[in-house]
Every structure is written in structure tokens, then in C-alpha cells.
């Protein structure tokens, strides 16, 4: 408003001047020309001034987000604790409404105010201090608030923790000498705190003081289990008697996914002091991976902040006191030939401020192997190369962060493992198995990797990096069926010229049918390099334009077709969270392929966790129990394999003989599992019982599924989607654990690699059609098996979604060397699925 009025004033001024000059003109007609020039110059000058003012007050203001009209005053909040010296502890201090609490709190608050007087800046912007709790010791917890008005915002960076502490310490020193009747303060801390965390004790709303005992007690977030309100500021102060620590577990935890909106912050203190934070959490956790934290002493603070638009159910929590020594005891001397060590309280979060030392000693002449089966010690702002906060130390190295594999081998018959956690931020910690071994024969009947790991002998020199450190792939004398890469590695000859750089130095792809400077189309045609992404379709199959940023107007079998007929020549454009089609059809129907639960990433182990593969379905036939797998495409449709239904027996094609179970992990546990009968079985009309070609079937459910955290659909790839050879995907199911064995009780997962079509065709002796693809390991060992049929081959795309690349179909035996699993190729069956289901 203000700037618009200024604009008018300027124009008025302009008119006044012109009138004024016109009067002059009448009086001095001789100087007409000079006056005319003068007028022109004046008009130009005034116009320039007006334009500048308009720019300054209208446009510049809008450009600048820090323009004063848009800025808000800043609140700087610091919280911490202090020790009170000449103050005996009184139990009534724990009751924030007691006269004792209020009296002491008031005294301290006024002392804090005085201390800030020594600093001109702090003094000017100081608003208030609040003592929020006391604990034995005597320790007082407080926060101090400074409000900085908009005009002084540039001063905000001067409000640092150091400045606050300096002022407080100077004030404390001074008052010690001048006012000896003051409460004597020692060891004061101050850390910058989110102002939303500040609570006034005795606030009526959402402020709780809890007493932990040996018995389990519970509390919940407000509105649980329906939904927590937006803009909640909740605080739970928990205490236990001396010599105890507090554990809190959250059997149910579902807060919004974005931690910047809604979160739960847990402290090893009674003030929201970041330097004593145990953890900050949001999102949703499955019952198999609950959040469980432990304090280092007899106090804990839990804060919940909700500011997001979306409201979730919240949490329920169980808390209790544990005797101090039971937690603090960790480490020791271990002399067994094998055993397990873990961080304190594992799988709960380990407590802050702890040190443990394990000495693992085996008979002389032997050595120790230590294999971590789980390792998670993540902290914000920690450089994992230095691990300056929490760590595990062994053999002179420190480890922290999240590790997917870690194996250590001692140099003598003894290994020392140190665990350290500092005052802030804890995590799930680690678990490790140790075993003694004979250095002369470290891996009986197996191959010993440099890392100390043992792997099956057959995996040595098979072209795959099984050890993880390549030690199984060096010093190989290549067999007759192997190709010697220039860098000394051996790879199966089948991999030569398969368009995958298997050697790592590309030597397996060099001497192929095209010249060095030529481009090989996917159909094998050779073209000059210039044809790639030149906007023209040069290869007959269009593959030269298939992976370009833009190739407008080109439509090939590799293009993604938008609903409006437009073609997008970008690899895997669908559901990648980027609008590629003008009609956005590439991003519609994309509520798929995500798993809501925050999962534990446990190293090794093939048992799937609940909610890890929420699209996996178990199909039970008559009274035989689990017989085939399937995947969820929508509330009403499942995808499976035709060969489960189209057999010699007419029984299999009858929908009433089948039941589907979604949300299942354990075949014997049916909590939260949704059972649905099958309304209709739609096998592919071209399914061939002899060749297994078109091995796909759709199942329409009698009743729709209700999507939950453990029941959700997988994304279907478009027919142009590329799953490149070498990509690691997962096959899941309750199939046999070995050839000829019984079905598994717990859902299993196996990581398999997409195998190049030429190789696939060779190893299956030409039995694969274009509706099939191979995936597995040519070295054997990991594969789908009987009972996995119909289940999904799930591949994770960079866009953050899981896509179904294949349907478990057939294979020669299970996990045999050079006999990978064969899957129905979903991209080739995509149009038929769309036609039958509309999905
Ligand atoms: C089966 O019989 C079966 N190794 C499924 C997959 C494989 C083999 C057999 C792949 O259902």
C-alpha cells in the first residue's frame, strides 16, 4: 500500500513542474529553445526518479524475501542444566506445583536474569528464564528466551551457546563474591534449542511428570490411537529412584514421515538439551522393529512436536525402571571357542555415556574371527571416517554409522573390542558372532577371503565378487569356459559382448562385432557413435534414441507412451516422481511400490521382516496349505503364474479351491493377515503348459483388500521399462529352502541378479522365449524354488519405488550352478494385464 501511494505522489510532482515551466515560458519567450531543452531534461530526470522509486518500493520489495514487511521476529532459546551447591535436596522439588519448587525456581530464574545483565546484547533482548525441573544432585533444568525484533535480525548470529555460557559463568563468578547468600551454581550448560520444546511447568496442556518403577506402566500421545492433534507441544518428564535407569519402549509408533513437521525427541536429561539427546524419531515402525531407549541415569525427557498437516495415530509407550548395574555391566573376558557379543540392551537403543570392553581370548595358536550380523551406530553430523562420537573399536580401527557387512580377523589369539557411547544420540548398536579358527586352515572345506570371511569353494573365480573385497576373483587361472579380462579377472565367456562391463575395465566388451568407435544397437546392429540421441531413429529398433534427455517425436518400442499418445524417450519414466508427459499420465496410478515401515537392516539372514514385502501374497490350495505365491496389484487384483492354475487337474482352475493371504510373514501367524477368496482366475490365453510361455495369471478377489502397513501394491513396469542385466533384485516366497524340501514357515528373501538374455538363452539351452527372463547367480546357491512360483521378482528403482520385473516361473532344479531361475517377463505381459484389469 505504502509504495503504491508514493508512486502517485511522484506523478503529481511531475505535473507541477510542467505547469511551472509553462508559466516561465510565457514570461521569457526569447529563451524558448533553452527552456524547451530544460523541460525535456527535467521530465527525463523526474521520470528516472519515479521509475527508480517504483522499482525500489514495488519490485525490489517483492524480490527480497527478507524485506522487512515479510520478516518475523526471532526467538532464540537456550536450555541446559546446572548444579546447585548449597542446596539440600527436597523430594517436594519433584512436584512442580509445590511451594518448595516454585520458591527455588523463582530464585534461580531471577539469578539467571541478573547474570545476563553483564552482556549488553543479551540484556537488551532477554525475555525470560524458566526452571522446569529439579533432580537429585541437586540439578536444576532451565531454559532462557531472547526475542529479537525484526529491525535487529542481523544480530541473530551473535546469540551463540558460547556467548550465553560466558555471560552465565561471568555472572556466577561475580555473584559468588558479591552476594554470598545467592544459590551457588556450578557446571552450567546451555545449548541452542528449538523454541517449540520450551514448556512452562504446570502448563495444563500435555505436560506430564511420571515416576518409573519396576512395574511396566504406559502412556500415550494425545488422541491415540485415532490421531494426534496438529500443533501439539507435549512433554513427559520421567524419573526413577536413584541407582536406576529408565527404559521406554514404543510397541506402537506412527508419526508423520517428514521429521521436520512432526517428531518425538528423547533426552537423557530433564531439559531439551541437544547435547544430551538420545534420539529424534518420526515415521512408522513395525512391531518387529520397535523403538526402545534407555537412559544413562534416573531421568528422561520425551517431547512431541506436531506441526504438519497430516495427523497420524501417534504412539503408546511402556516405561519402567531398571537397576543401574544390570545395564552398566557390559564387556568382559570371553574364552569360549565361539559366542556372541552385542551393545548393551541390544536390540534396544544402547544407553548414552557407556564404555564396554570385551577381550576375546582363544587357545594360543588359534585366531579369532568376528562377524557383525547387525551394525547401526548412526549420529547426526558424524564423519564415519573419524567416528568421533559413538563407535566400536577393534584392531586399531574405529567403526560407526550403518554398516551392511563387517568381518574382522585377529592377528593373534586375542582380540579386544571396545564400545563407546557419548552423552548424546544413541542407536540400535551392534551384534557380532565370534569364533576361534586355526590359521593354518581358516576355512575348512571353504575358501578364505582376505577379510576373514569363508565362502563356498565354488565361488572362487566364478566372475562374481562374493567376498566383497574381490579376493575370490584375483589370482585366478581362467578355465576353458572363462574369459581372461585385461585386469586379471576371469569372467564366464558367456558374458563377452553382452553389453555389460563385467570385467570392470570393459575388456569383455571391447572386441565385439562393432568397431571401437561404433555404437551397438540393442538388436546388434553397428552404427556410428553420432547416431545416439540425435533425434533420428537410426537403429531399426530405435534403441539409439531410447535413453536420451529428449528425443521429441520419436516413438519406438523403448519409448514410454503417455495417455495422450505422446512418447517419452527417457529410461523408466513412469512413477519416477518427475512429470515427463504433458498430461502427467506417467505419474498417475503411482501409489505403489513403497513400504511404510521403517525396517531394521540386519546383515545377512534370509528371513523377511513383517512389512518388508507388503505386496507378497500366499496362495493356499484346498487343504494343502501354501502352494503358490502372488503379488498385489490393487485392492482387487493379484498377479501370479498360470502354471499354478492350469494343470492336468481341473481342480486347480476352480477359484473356490484357492484362498489368498495378504500381510503374512509366518504361515502359522494370522494376526493382521487378510484372507480373501478368489472370485475369478484369468490365465493368459496363450499360456503353454509344455514350454511355460506366457506363464502369467490374474486373480480377481471376492472382496477388496484393505491396504495397511503390511498390505500394499507393487508398481507394474510399463512395457518400455528396462531392468538392466546385472541389476540386483529380490525374489521372495515361502517356497522350498532346498530342492525337494518342504515349504518354509517364514517368508524368505533372496537377492538375485538380472541375467543378460544371451546368457539366459545359452544356459537354458534355448528354452526361453521373449516372455521370459533369467535372474539368479550362475554360481548357484541362491534362487527361487518350488512353492515360490507365482511370486514377484521385486526391483528397487532410484525413484524410491519397487517394481515387479518378473513372476517366478520355472528353472532346472533350484540354485544349481549355471541354472538360474526363469521368470515371466512382466514388461512383455504388461499390455495384457492392462487389458484384463484396467491397471
Ligand atoms: C517350481 O517348481 C520352481 N529355480 C520354481 C522356481 C524354480 C524352480 C522350480 C527356479 O515352482
**Residue 628, beta-bridge partner list:** 619
Q: Tell which wins on pLDDT, 616 or 172.
A: 616
- Residue 262: predicted pLDDT: 93
Kindly state the average pLDDT of the residues 351-375.
93
- When mean pLDDT is compared over 525-539, 589-603, 750-764, the highest value belongs to 750-764
DSSP H helical segments within 498-541, as ranges? Answer: none
Residues 564 and 639 grouped into a single domain? no
Decide if 789 is catalytic: yes
Residues 262 and 349 grouped into a single domain? no
- Residue 14: predicted pLDDT: 31
- Residue 65: predicted pLDDT: 44
Q: Tell which wins on pLDDT, 521 or 386.
A: 386
Instruction: Kindly report the number of other CB atoms within 10 A of residue 516's CB atom.
Output: 8
Kindly state the average pLDDT of the residues 403-432.
91
d(CA 112, CA 766): 83
Q: Tell which wins on pLDDT, 553 or 318.
A: 318
Residues 120 and 269 grouped into a single domain? no
- Residue 47: predicted pLDDT: 65
Examine the fold and report which residue of 178, 197, 216 is the final residue of a domain before the chain moves on. 197
State in Å: Cα 791 to ligand 1 middle: 11
Residues 756 and 827 grouped into a single domain? yes
Q: Tell which wins on pLDDT, 171 or 36.
A: 171
d(CA 838, CA 564): 16
Ligand 1 atom index nearest CA of 783: 4
Residues 626 and 769 grouped into a single domain? yes
10 Å CB burial of residue 187 (0-12, 13-18, 19+) is exposed
Lookup: cell for 619: 496362495
Tell me the per-residue pLDDT of 783-793, one tens digit each, with 9 for 90 and over: 999 999 999 99
SS (H, E, C) 205-238: CCEEEEECCCCCEEEECCCCCCCCCCCEEEEEEE
CATH number of the domain that 179 lies in? Answer: 3.30.70.960
Judged against a pLDDT cut of 90, whether residue 619 lies above it is answered with yes
Tell me the per-residue pLDDT of 382-402, one tens digit each, with 9 for 90 and over: 888 899 999 999 999 999 998
> Per-residue confidence at 3, pLDDT binned at 50, 70, 90?
very low
Ligand 1 atom index nearest CA of 815: 4
- Residue 213: predicted pLDDT: 96
Q: How far, in whole angstroms, is CA 346 from its chain's centroid?
A: 21
* Helix, strand and coil in the chain, % to nearest 5: 20, 30, 45
Judged against a pLDDT cut of 90, whether residue 215 lies above it is answered with yes
Q: Is residue 372 domain-resident?
A: yes
Residues 309 and 334 grouped into a single domain? no
Decide if 777 is catalytic: no
CATH number of the domain that 636 lies in? Answer: 2.40.10.10
Tell me the per-residue pLDDT of 103-145, one tens digit each, with 9 for 90 and over: 999 999 999 999 998 899 999 999 999 999 999 989 999 999 9
Find the helix or strand (DSSP H, E) in which 682 lies.
strand 674-683
- Residue 328: predicted pLDDT: 65
Secondary structure of residue 606 in the 3-state scheme:
coil
**In contact, 14 and 50? CB cutoff 8 Å:** yes
Q: Is residue 347 domain-resident?
A: yes
32, 38, 44, 46 alpha-carbon torsion, rounded to 10°: -120
Residues 220 and 165 grouped into a single domain? no
Judged against a pLDDT cut of 90, whether residue 513 lies above it is answered with no
CATH number of the domain that 284 lies in? Answer: 2.60.120.290
How do beta strands 354-361 and 332-334 pair?
A: parallel
Kindly state the average pLDDT of the residues 435-440.
92
Q: Is residue 153 domain-resident?
A: yes
State in Å: Cα 815 to ligand 1 middle: 9
Q: Of the residues 784, 787, 792, 815, which should be mutated to test ligand 1's pocket, given the most ligand atoms within 8 Å of the CB?
A: 784
Residues 706 and 723 grouped into a single domain? yes
Kindly state the average pLDDT of the residues 180-207.
85
Residues 151 and 128 grouped into a single domain? yes
d(CA 779, CA 463): 9
Task: Calculate what percentage of the chain has a pLDDT beyond 70.
Answer: 89
Find the helix or strand (DSSP H, E) in which 115 lies.
helix 99-116
- pTM assigned to the model: 0.68
Examine the fold and report which residue of 437, 461, 495 is the final residue of a domain before the chain moves on. 437
State the residue range of the domain holding 348: 330-437
Pocket of ligand 1 (CB under 6 A): 783-786, 788-789, 808, 810-811, 814, 821
Secondary structure of residue 373 in the 3-state scheme:
strand
d(CA 341, CA 356): 11
φ and ψ at residue 446, rounded to 5 degrees:
-135, 175
φ and ψ at residue 87, rounded to 5 degrees:
-135, 110
Q: Tell which wins on pLDDT, 453 or 68.
A: 453
- Residue 462: predicted pLDDT: 72
Lookup: cell for 407: 568381518
Lookup: cell for 735: 517356497
Average confidence score pLDDT of the chain: 86
Q: Whose Cα sits closest to atom 11 in ligand 1?
A: 786
- Residue 809: predicted pLDDT: 97
State in Å: Cα 803 to ligand 1 middle: 21
- Residue 434: predicted pLDDT: 95
Residues 149 and 285 grouped into a single domain? no
The tally of domains found in the chain comes to 5
- Residue 42: predicted pLDDT: 65
**In contact, 16 and 22? CB cutoff 8 Å:** no
> Per-residue confidence at 62, pLDDT binned at 50, 70, 90?
very low
Q: Is the peptide bond before 225 cis (omega within 30 degrees of 0)?
A: yes
Residues 554 and 568 grouped into a single domain? yes
φ and ψ at residue 763, rounded to 5 degrees:
-70, -20
User: Could you say which of 789, 794, 809, 824 is catalytic?
Assistant: 789
Q: Is residue 254 domain-resident?
A: yes
User: Could you say which of 262, 462, 544, 695 is catalytic?
Assistant: 695
Kindly state the average pLDDT of the residues 318-328.
82
Q: Tell which wins on pLDDT, 772 or 457.
A: 772
Judged against a pLDDT cut of 50, whether residue 83 lies above it is answered with yes
State in Å: Cα 77 to ligand 1 middle: 63
d(CA 345, CA 427): 11
10 Å CB burial of residue 552 (0-12, 13-18, 19+) is exposed
Decide if 695 is catalytic: yes
Q: Is residue 2 domain-resident?
A: no
DSSP H helical segments within 239-369, as ranges? Answer: 324-328
Q: Tell which wins on pLDDT, 687 or 778.
A: 687
Q: Which of 63-67, 116-120, 392-396, 465-469 has the lowest mean pLDDT?
A: 63-67
10 Å CB burial of residue 615 (0-12, 13-18, 19+) is buried
Instruction: Kindly report the number of other CB atoms within 10 A of residue 73's CB atom.
Output: 12
d(CA 152, CA 144): 19
Instruction: Kindly report the number of other CB atoms within 10 A of residue 283's CB atom.
Output: 18
- Residue 388: predicted pLDDT: 92
φ and ψ at residue 747, rounded to 5 degrees:
-60, 130
Q: Is residue 134 domain-resident?
A: yes
- Residue 509: predicted pLDDT: 78
Q: Is residue 334 domain-resident?
A: yes
> Per-residue confidence at 50, pLDDT binned at 50, 70, 90?
low
Judged against a pLDDT cut of 70, whether residue 8 lies above it is answered with no
d(CA 664, CA 620): 12
Radius of gyration from C-alpha coordinates of the chain:
35
d(CA 479, CA 462): 10
Residues 303 and 343 grouped into a single domain? no
Tell me the per-residue pLDDT of 336-358, one tens digit each, with 9 for 90 and over: 999 999 999 888 889 998 999 99
**In contact, 267 and 301? CB cutoff 8 Å:** yes
Examine the fold and report which residue of 437, 472, 503 is the final residue of a domain before the chain moves on. 437
Ligand 1 atom index nearest CA of 816: 4
Q: Is residue 226 domain-resident?
A: yes
Judged against a pLDDT cut of 50, whether residue 29 lies above it is answered with no
- Residue 130: predicted pLDDT: 94
Kindly state the average pLDDT of the residues 718-729.
92
Q: Which residues fall within 8 angstroms of residue 401, CB to CB, at 6 or more apart?
A: 377, 378, 382, 384, 387
Closest CA to 190 of 304, 274, 261, 98: 274
φ and ψ at residue 620, rounded to 5 degrees:
-105, 135
d(CA 1, CA 4): 5
Amino acid at each position: 500500500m505504502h509504495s503504491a501511494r508514493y508512486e502517485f505522489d511522484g506523478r503529481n510532482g511531475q505535473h507541477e513542474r510542467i505547469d511551472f515551466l509553462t508559466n516561465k515560458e510565457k514570461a521569457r519567450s526569447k529563451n524558448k529553445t533553452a527552456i524547451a531543452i530544460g523541460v525535456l531534461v527535467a521530465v527525463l530526470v523526474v521520470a528516472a526518479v519515479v521509475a527508480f522509486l517504483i522499482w525500489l518500493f514495488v519490485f525490489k520489495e517483492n524480490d527480497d524475501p527478507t524485506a522487512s514487511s515479510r520478516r518475523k521476529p526471532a526467538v532464540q532459546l537456550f536450555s541446559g542444566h546446572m548444579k546447585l551447591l548449597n542446596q539440600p535436596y527436597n523430594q517436594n522439588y519433584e512436584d512442580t506445583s509445590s511451594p518448595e519448587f516454585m520458591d527455588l525456581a523463582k530464585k534461580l530464574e531471577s539469578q539467571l536474569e541478573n547474570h545476563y545483565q553483564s552482556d549488553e546484547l543479551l540484556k537488551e533482548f532477554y525475555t525470560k528464564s524458566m526452571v522446569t525441573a529439579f533432580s537429585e544432585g541437586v540439578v536444576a533444568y532451565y531454559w532462557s528466551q531472547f526475542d529479537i525484533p525484526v529491525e535487529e535480525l542481523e544480530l541473530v548470529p551473535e546469540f551463540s551457546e558460547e556467548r550465553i555460557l560466558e555471560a552465565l559463568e561471568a555472572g556466577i563468578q561475580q555473584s559468588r563474591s558479591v552476594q554470598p547468600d545467592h544459590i551457588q551454581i556450578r557446571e552450567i550448560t546451555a545449548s541452542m534449542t528449538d523454541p517449540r520444546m520450551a514448556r512452562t511447568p504446570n502448563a495444563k496442556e500435555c505436560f506430564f511428570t511420571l515416576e518409573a518403577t519396576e512395574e511396566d506402566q504406559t502412556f500415550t500421545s494425545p488422541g491415540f490411537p485415532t490421531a494426534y492433534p496438529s500443533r501439539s507441544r507435549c512433554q513427559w518428564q520421567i524419573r526413577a529412584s536413584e541407582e536406576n535407569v529408565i527404559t521406554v519402549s514404543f510397541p506402537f509408533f506412527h508419526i508423520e514421515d517428514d521429521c521436520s513437521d512432526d517428531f518425538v525427541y528423547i533426552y537423557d536429561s530433564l531439559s531439551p538439551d541437544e547435547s544430551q539427546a538420545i534420539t529424534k524419531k518420526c515415521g512408522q515402525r513395525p512391531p518387529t522393529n520397535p523403538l526402545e531407549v534407555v537412559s544413562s541415569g534416573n531421568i528422561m525427557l520425551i517431547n512431541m512436536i506436531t506441526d504438519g498437516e497430516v495427523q497420524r495415530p501417534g504412539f503408546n509407550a511402556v516405561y519402567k525402571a531398571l537397576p543401574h548395574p544390570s545395564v552398566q555391566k557390559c564387556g568382559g573376558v570371553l574364552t569360549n571357542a565361539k559366542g556372541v557379543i552385542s551393545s548393551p540392551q541390544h536390540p534396544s537403543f544402547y544407553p548414552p555415556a557407556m564404555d564396554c570392553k570385551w577381550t576375546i581370548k582363544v587357545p594360543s595358536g588359534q585366531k579369532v574371527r568376528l562377524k557383525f550380523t547387525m551394525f547401526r551406530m548412526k549420529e547426526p553430523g558424524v564423519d564415519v571416517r573419524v567416528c568421533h562420537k559413538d563407535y566400536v573399536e577393534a584392531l586399531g580401527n574405529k567403526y560407526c554409522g550403518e554398516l551392511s557387512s563387517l568381518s574382522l580377523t585377529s592377528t593373534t589369539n586375542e582380540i579386544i573390542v571396545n564400545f563407546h557411547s557419548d552423552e548424546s544420540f544413541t542407536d540400535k548398536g551392534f551384534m557380532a558372532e565370534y569364533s576361534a579358527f586355526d590359521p593354518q586352515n581358516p576355512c575348512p572345506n571353504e575358501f578364505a577371503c582376505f577379510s576373514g570371511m569363508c565362502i563356498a569353494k565354488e565361488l572362487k573365480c566364478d566372475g562374481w565378487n562374493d567376498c566383497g573385497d574381490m579376493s575370490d576373483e584375483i589370482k585366478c587361472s581362467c578355465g576353458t569356459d572363462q574369459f581372461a579380462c585385461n585386469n586379471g579377472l576371469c569372467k564366464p565367456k558367456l558374458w563377452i559382448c553382452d553389453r555389460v562391463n563385467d570385467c570392470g575395465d570393459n575388456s569383455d566388451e571391447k572386441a565385439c562385432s562393432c568397431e571401437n568407435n561404433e555404437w551397438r544397437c540393442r538388436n546388434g546392429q553397428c552404427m556410428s557413435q553420432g547416431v545416439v540421441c540425435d533425434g533420428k531413429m537410426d537403429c531399426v529398433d530405435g534403441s539409439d534414441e531410447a535413453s536420451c534427455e529428449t528425443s521429441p517425436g520419436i516413438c519406438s518400442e523403448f519409448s514410454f507412451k503417455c495417455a495422450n499418445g505422446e512418447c517419452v524417450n527417457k529410461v523408466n519414466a513412469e512413477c519416477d516422481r518427475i512429470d515427463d508427459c504433458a498430461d502427467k499420465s506417467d505419474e498417475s496410478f503411482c501409489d505403489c511400490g513403497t513400504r511404510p515401515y521403517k525396517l531394521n537392516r540386519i546383515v545377512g539372514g534370509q528371513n523377511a521382516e513383517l512389512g518388508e514385502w507388503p505386496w507378497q501374497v500366499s496362495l493356499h490350495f484346498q487343504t494343502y496349505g501354501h502352494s503358490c505365491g502372488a503379488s498385489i496389484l490393487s485392492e482387487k487384483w493379484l498377479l501370479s503364474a498360470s502354471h499354478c492354475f492350469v494343470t492336468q487337474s481341473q481342480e486347480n482352475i476352480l477359484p473356490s479351491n484357492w484362498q489368498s493371504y495378504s500381510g503374512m510373514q509366518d504361515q502359522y501367524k494370522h494376526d493382521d493377515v487378510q484372507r480373501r477368496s478368489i472370485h475369478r482366475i484369468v490365465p493368459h490365453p496363450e499360456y503353454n503348459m509344455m514350454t511355460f510361455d506366457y506363464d502369467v495369471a490374474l486373480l480377481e478377489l471376492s472382496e477388496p483388500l484393505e491396504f495397511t502397513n503390511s498390505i500394499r501394491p507393487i508398481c507394474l513396469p510399463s512395457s518400455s521399462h528396462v531392468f538392466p542385466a546385472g541389476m540386483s533384485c529380490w525374489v521372495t516366497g515361502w517356497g522350498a529352502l532346498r530342492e525337494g524340501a518342504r515349504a518354509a514357515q517364514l517368508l524368505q528373501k533372496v537377492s538375485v541378479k538380472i541375467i543378460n538374455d544371451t546368457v539366459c538363452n545359452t544356459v537354458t539351452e534355448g528354452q526361453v522365449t521373449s516372455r521370459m527372463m533369467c535372474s539368479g547367480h550362475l554360481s548357484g546357491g541362491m534362487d527361487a524354488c518350488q512353492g515360490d512360483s507365482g511370486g514377484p521378482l521385486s526391483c528397487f528403482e532410484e525413484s524410491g519405488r519397487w517394481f515387479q520385473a518378473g513372476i517366478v516361473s520355472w528353472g532346472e532344479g533350484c540354485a544349481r550352478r549355471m541354472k538360474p531361475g526363469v521368470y515371466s517377463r512382466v514388461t512383455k505381459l504388461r499390455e495384457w494385464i492392462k487389458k484384463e484389469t484396467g491397471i
